[in-house]
Structure 1
């Protein structure tokens, strides 16, 4: 099922680790894909590959072989496949690619890298011919611009300001909800889908790092403002708070 401009790529996640399965599914949904999660081959088999644009398959399923599933899918069609594994054995990677997998991603993976590889495979196999439409191509604040398609923060000259995945997600959330006090609990919930180890203090660390990257004077923030006892507020303009 090749994607047109109005279609959302549908991706199956087959992994026996419930946390990993839910984390990847949530990450896919956040990045504009439709995700279907399956615990193993039997559950996936009951659904079938019809209507899918890609399968993300864990190499070592509980009592089952992800390689066998990949071989079966490749024998029955040309569904793009990315293998996921926590093992570092190069032989596994070679076998996975030989049986027809389009790419191979090692756990733990960088979420942005996984999404980039998924999009690359979908484009290469003709399953995604255009970038996912977004409400705005970018959001500007001060002299900076957050490119929502490339997931990049750019300065006034167009040079990228490097952000970690957590910093990017936090900044994007603020920019999509400007001029509103956002409590810590809401920020933790937003980050918790694939950063479950975050705790309350981690928000403070991310806020500090973001201020160093986006504020002219980090100790006197004009954008990312603290509301004591309430949370944080992001001002798109230049009013100091």
Structure 2
């Protein structure tokens, strides 16, 4: 089974995350496959990023976090950042077609996309402090620009789940539609983009990256701190509890 399925439908490049057995959580191999798919985006008029099997994306794969090594985790973090950068540096508008749960890094993937349309059954939220991590590649910085600092901190710190309609109300997504209308609605948006100037859409997109670019140092600093925390009791307990489907029991402040 390929990690990513890429289809060219008319003027639109569809990139579908394709690991439904792990809710499309990305590991370095999947991130690299998505980055490679984006390399062909310049010939399209728009790009759609979505998931398979009823899930959008559960973020970074947690399989390694219960027995982590610094090298493994550095590779996961760096590949995740390359994935988000590929979305933002793509010369074409990127639409997130959120067809299910967008959790952790999957929610940050929605933040990275230019536009987002959600199925009514989709859910959103961060997971970092609940699973022994922190959402430093979008949720602690750029998401604050999109939905407001207090709301962004609520998502990043409390790790709650939000409905698609709640995500629309706070500005995380543009539109919510019935599940069976998602792909048709996204296609209609792509058709609308295809009637516009690709040159000036690219200028508009690159100009809009000012806040992403301003936060870029925060991403790398945050990832550096995560690397230093590899193997910590909180990381191991958070990931182990997640894999065992139980509530974590974190040690008190040091």
TM-score where L is the length of structure 1: 0.28
Structure with bigger RCO (C-alpha 8 Å, 6+ apart) = 2
Higher percent of residues as helix: 2
TM-score w.r.t. the length of structure 2 is 0.27
Structure number with greater Rg is 1
